[in-house]
Structure 1
Amino acid sequence: MRKFVPLFLVLLVLAGRVQAGDAIADVDGLMSRYHGDVPGASLLVIKDGKPLLRRGYGLANLETHEAATPATNYRLASVTKQFTAAAILLLAERGSLSLDDHVRHWIPELPATHEAITIRQLLSHGGGLIDYEDLMPAHVTEQISDADVLRMLAAEPRSYFAPGTSYRYSNGGYVLLGLIVERASKQSLPDFLAKNIFKPLGMTHTLLYVLGGPEVTHRAYGYSEENGRWMRTDQSPTSATRGDGGIYSSIDDMAKWDAALYDHRLLSDDSRKLAFSAQNQVHDEPDVDAYGFGWRIHGDVLWHSGESMGFRNVIIRWPRQRLTVVLLSNRNDPEPYRTALAIGQRFLQP
């Protein structure tokens, strides 16, 4: 009987390799819209801490014909929110703030009608703040800053609901969280993220981009298809806000971020549990049961998308199977969540 055990194990390994090979072969078909001289994408599939797929498709820059690669840096848009949430959790661990602090403790410019809103509620989109996008002047063309967002919210006493009673996705809430990081740490948000998250994790090409600051290396530029042609649409009036969407990163650096979410190299076990646990129930978004801190939750799946003018991104994690898919793209279409989900499902164990 002993003679057959090694053979059985070899057959199992070979079967697994065949399955993985078939799955990898399927991926190029799923990514077909990103092939060629078109705005592209970078794709990462990680299983048990090892990259099964790490590829670029199409172009990062149509004008120079620069190819998209695993090192290409894309504007993460709302995928940024998980980093802003991590910054708040780090400050809470250090005693610099409490998740149950009233937001007006840190941002007294807000009207008294918002007195009850807490940091915890902003993290889980439970603050009820009016969307700053709806408060912007009509036909605005200049980019707005975090200070502009604060001025708009400071002048708006209304809210959608009483804090902690419902859910409404809020970019403005995460802009305020970025400002709280600055006030609690006495550092600029780009510096805090760089010194406390990016550098410790070896994410050497990731940064929170601000005009006049360090430039983005290997930068992907955003495009939108208009009348059958791809037009550069890299920036919009809301592309300069920071805590809700200003980070640029690559799939290579996102692999390091994913690895840090399994252990305490950045956040404590308690902090990660908070981030990945249902903090607010969600009833009107597809594939979302609840929201944690910077993460959407759907059954055993953690994920978040990021969309801004010319960029569509997603990270999907199956933590119990230690499987992650990251798909970053510099184009307005297609929306990548379904593609990334289909790719991940090919590597899931039954």
Structure 2
Amino acid sequence: MLRLLPLLMLAGAPAPDTAMERLEALMRDYRGQVPGASVLVLRDGQPLVRRGWGLADLEAGIPAGPHTNYRLASVTKQFTAAAVLLLAEDGRLSLDDPVRRWLPSLPPAADAVTLRHLLSHTSGLVDYEDVMPEGQDRQVHDADVLRLLEGQDRTCFPPGSAYRYSNSGYALLALVVERASGLDFATFLRRRIFRPLGMAGTVAHREGVDVVAHRAWGYSLVDGVWVRTDQSPTSAVLGDGGIYSNLDDLARWDAALYDDRLLRPESLALMFSPATATDEPDVPHYGFGWRLNGDSVWHSGETIGFRNVIVRWPRQRLTVVVLTNRNDPEPYPLALAIGRLFGAP
């Protein structure tokens, strides 16, 4: 605790004991024999908090911790966006390419849709979850998303004219990465992002192909009892939400967003620049895989049995990550409260 004192005092935050006591109070609902949470607080690249509460696996009694791998859900989208930007840097694609250049089986309604529209949720494409067959129990994959959209010769609005959050767009982007790179999406992420950054525990998970080490299992509270609800029919789609990761690997990812060890400065600028206004309360703009809100950039991830968020305050070089393996509550307010303990505006 004494080692953290200079950092916390310089931040203008509460004294360490007070901050940690307040943190414990914030995390009280995650303590004990319940689905847990792993929390990371970074300032200037140094971990002020790096620990877990509760359990990653209720049945086996395995505690949550820094190495626990959670399904990131839509926090995945920033990695998909980075993959596209890497290929743009390589000259393998352009952000203004029509999506039908890469996925020609899409219907004519997608003629005007570009990769930039997909990245910024301005394509107007129908959400694949809205057109899945009723009673679908087989898991769908990114290629299945394309097949579902092949039968939807319509858009919700003219491409580029409005914002509508789209899981379809990011599933299609994963397929574009595959076609432009010649590698399957999971392999591309491993070779071009995870391995170079030392994110050894992170994986775009494919059942039967890889194993998630130190895996957190997802749970939902049903009639007062925690029930394992780890997978849904959409859990196998990679581009919009299929990455598993942990606190230490996300610290490495956060560090790479401050310099050019992965992406060029101009690519990072695109990622964090307003690409479109949004219709989401308290989220003025969306970039590429990130919500932009004044001093902070952030993204949440929500899927059956998991609720996650990463919030960054770049000017303060402060980051809070909250990963949870339960269906509720949404952890964004919790992350903001934790950030304020350690100097967030």
TM-score band, normalised by shorter chain: over 0.9
Among candidates 329, 337, 343, match of residue 342 of structure 1: 337
Q: How does 1:129-208 map to 2 (within 5 A)?
A: 129-208=125-204
Deviation at 1:22, TM superposition (A): 2.0
Preserved CA contact (<8 Å) 1:60 1:68: yes
Deviation at 1:236, TM superposition (A): 0.3
The CA distance in 2 between the partners of 1:32 and 1:59, in whole Å, is: 13
Does residue 274 of the first structure (1) align with residue 274 of the second (2)? Answer: no
The CA distance in 2 between the partners of 1:15 and 1:190, in whole Å, is: 39
> CA distance change for structure 1 residues 169 and 13 in 2, over 3 Å: closer, same or farther?
closer
Structure number, greater radius of gyration: 1
Deviation at 1:15, TM superposition (A): 9.6
Q: How does 1:305-316 map to 2 (within 5 A)?
A: 305-316=300-311
Deviation at 1:287, TM superposition (A): 2.3
Does residue 293 of the first structure (1) align with residue 291 of the second (2)? Answer: no
Deviation at 1:13, TM superposition (A): 5.5
Preserved CA contact (<8 Å) 1:303 1:316: yes
Preserved CA contact (<8 Å) 1:37 1:58: yes
The CA distance in 2 between the partners of 1:152 and 1:16, in whole Å, is: 52
Corresponding residue number in structure 2 for 1:332: 327
Deviation at 1:300, TM superposition (A): 1.5
The CA distance in 2 between the partners of 1:145 and 1:199, in whole Å, is: 24
Q: How does 1:4-153 map to 2 (within 5 A)?
A: 19-153=15-149
The CA distance in 1 between the partners of 2:329 and 2:148, in whole Å, is: 33
Deviation at 1:44, TM superposition (A): 0.2
Which of 226-235 and 205-214 deviates more? Answer: 205-214
Number of equivalenced pairs: 339
The CA distance in 1 between the partners of 2:267 and 2:297, in whole Å, is: 15
State the 4+ residue runs in structure 1 displaced beyond 4 angstroms: 12-18
Preserved CA contact (<8 Å) 2:13 2:341: no
The CA distance in 2 between the partners of 1:71 and 1:101, in whole Å, is: 39
Deviation at 1:139, TM superposition (A): 1.4
Preserved CA contact (<8 Å) 1:20 1:347: no
Deviation at 1:14, TM superposition (A): 8.7
The CA distance in 2 between the partners of 1:20 and 1:176, in whole Å, is: 46
> CA distance change for structure 1 residues 111 and 38 in 2, over 3 Å: closer, same or farther?
same
What is the CA RMSD across the aligned residues, in angstroms? Answer: 1.5
The CA distance in 1 between the partners of 2:249 and 2:11, in whole Å, is: 31
Structure 1 gap ranges (5+): 1-9
The CA distance in 1 between the partners of 2:325 and 2:44, in whole Å, is: 28
Q: TM-score, normalised by structure 1?
A: 0.94
Deviation at 1:148, TM superposition (A): 1.3
Deviation at 1:349, TM superposition (A): 5.9
Corresponding residue number in structure 1 for 2:318: 323
Structure 2 gap ranges (5+): 1-5
> CA distance change for structure 1 residues 273 and 20 in 2, over 3 Å: closer, same or farther?
farther
Corresponding residue number in structure 1 for 2:209: 213
Partner secondary structure for residue 325 of structure 1: strand
The CA distance in 1 between the partners of 2:66 and 2:165, in whole Å, is: 30
Preserved CA contact (<8 Å) 2:9 2:15: no
Q: TM-score, normalised by structure 2?
A: 0.96
The CA distance in 1 between the partners of 2:337 and 2:10, in whole Å, is: 23
